[in-house]
Structure 1
Amino acid sequence: MKVMLVASAGGHLAQLIALDKFWKDHERTWVTFQLPEVEAALKDETVHWAYFPTTRNIPNAVRNFGLAWKVLRKERPDTIITAGAAVSVPFFLVGKMLKMRTVFIEAYDRITMPTMSARMCYPMTDLFVVQWDEQKKAFPESVNIGAIL
């Protein structure tokens, strides 16, 4: 299986890295932001650098949609996995158009107020994962796996 791991830098990326037992034996590519700490953490990985900032930044959302179209058609992952944030949305939209499976992991620190990217991606997610029972109120079809970090 080929996976694409998509995440904003920081805690979102840290959650995906912490799940290495699930992805380490699979062919994979990453999409995240080009920052020194990210380059160090993913130094031996194949990475496509997304445009940032992404929070309410329409020009970068459009650029990332174009990047998603290009990268997903090139890499052809079986599954797209994300822990958010905004960079995940264009990859989920394009991924669903290309009939790829999607997995969204909601942020562990948003217990009662869902993230905007989760609310946007939930309707097009094949597997939606939460880390607290309280998060199931906003995402009733989700699966609680407990805290990752």
Structure 2
Amino acid sequence: MTFDKPDAVEPLAGEHVIHAHHPTTRNVVNLARNWHLARSVLRRVRPDIVISTGAGVALPFFVEARRRSIPTIYVEVYDRIDSRTLTGRLCRPFTSRFCVQWDEQRDLYAGSELLGPVL
């Protein structure tokens, strides 16, 4: 699941990809469209786990995964070490594991796990 954008198309060439609706930043229409997509995909695919590194499309997938008892792992973005992201704050209640990439981020999210930089 990703956006149909140049930075994702080439690295995922040959993979089974489902495109989410973009933009997601404070776009209620695309939030609703992605929520419908999350319900449909998770019902049909039934993955073992849902992992996200953020973006507005994460929230509907995390909520729907939680409803289906599918574990979730959220990895906070690497470039925000002094404040919490909106997606991180919204997804936190629906995560099985909440991971951060910098020690400084652990202070922002109680109970988070330090992974180190993920490139």
Give the TM-score normalised by the residue count of structure 2.
Answer: 0.96
RMSD: 0.9
User: 1:124: how far off?
Assistant: 1.3
Number of equivalenced pairs: 119
Q: Greater strand share, 1 or 2?
A: 1
Q: 1:126 aligns with which of 79, 86, 96?
A: 96
What does 1:70-89 correspond to in 2, within 5 Å? 70-89=40-59
Structure-1 residue corresponding to 2:19: 49
Gaps of 5+ in 2: none
Give the TM-score normalised by the residue count of structure 1.
Answer: 0.77
Structure-2 residue corresponding to 1:102: 72
Greater RCO, 1 or 2 (C-alpha within 8 Å, sep 6+): 1
Aligned-residue sequence identity (percent) comes to 43
Amino acid at match of 1:41: P
- Secondary structure at the residue paired with 1:90? helix
Is residue 112 of structure 1 aligned with residue 82 of structure 2?
yes
Deviations along 1:41-68, one digit per CA (max 9) or x if unpaired, are 1012111110000000000000000000
Gaps of 5+ in 1: 1-30
